[in-house]
Amino acid sequence: MPRRPPANLTRYDHNYFHGWVVEFKRAGEIHVEYLKDDGGRRAARRRAIAWRDRVLATLSPPRRFHRRSSTSTTGVVGVIHSRTHTRKGTPVEYYCATWTTEDGRPHQRKFSVLKYGLRRAFAMARDVRATVIAEMLQPRKLGRSTPSPRWA
C-alpha cells in the first residue's frame, strides 16, 4: 500500500507544473504554497513539509468546530420557509421540517402555507421536528426490536 502524504500536502502534476502543494486554512484565511520539483521530487517534498511546519508554528491551532451556513430565516434550527413553483408555474409556499435519523438518513415534512396558513404551517413544522428529535433522544430499551420514530 502506498504511503499517504503528510497532512495538508498534495502532489500536483499538471501541464508544466510538477511539485507539491501545501494548503490549509486558519481563522478564515487560506495559506497556499506551490513548491516545484527543483532538485528532485523528494527534495521538493522535504521543502514543502518544512514550509508547512514553519508557517503552522506561527499560527493559532485549528478550531475543533466548523461554522455552518444557514438558509433558515425562521429562527428555528431545522425549519425553513420556502417558495417554489410547480411545473405549471404556480407558486407554492411552505414550511419544511428537516432532520437526520441515527443511521444518517435525511427526512423532511412539508406544510403548505396555502392549506394551513402562515402561522399554523410554521407551528406544525416546528412541532413535528421537536417531537421527532425528542423521540430520538429517548433512551432505547433493550429488546429484539426498536421502534422507529413516528415521523420517519
Q: What is the pLDDT of residues 112-133, one digit of tens each?
A: 999 999 999 999 999 999 999 8
Domain that holds residue 114: 79-137
Domain count, the chain: 2
Note the pTM of the prediction, 2 decimals: 0.49
Q: Looking at the domain assignment, is residue 22 inside a domain?
A: yes
Confidence tier at 149 by pLDDT (50, 70, 90):
low
Q: Is residue 128 domain-shared with residue 88, that is, in the same domain?
A: yes
Q: What are phi and psi of 133, to 5 degrees?
A: -65, -40
Q: Is residue 83 domain-shared with residue 114, that is, in the same domain?
A: yes
Q: Which residues, other chains included, contact 141 with Cβ-Cβ below 8 Å and sequence gap of 6+?
A: none
- The answer to whether the beta carbons of residues 95 and 81 sit under 8 Å apart is yes
Q: What are phi and psi of 127, to 5 degrees?
A: -70, -40
DSSP character at residue 84: E
Rounded Cα distance between 1 and 132, Å, is 44
The reported pLDDT for the residue numbered 144 is 56
Q: Looking at the domain assignment, is residue 148 inside a domain?
A: no
Q: Which residues, other chains included, contact 86 with Cβ-Cβ below 8 Å and sequence gap of 6+?
A: 92
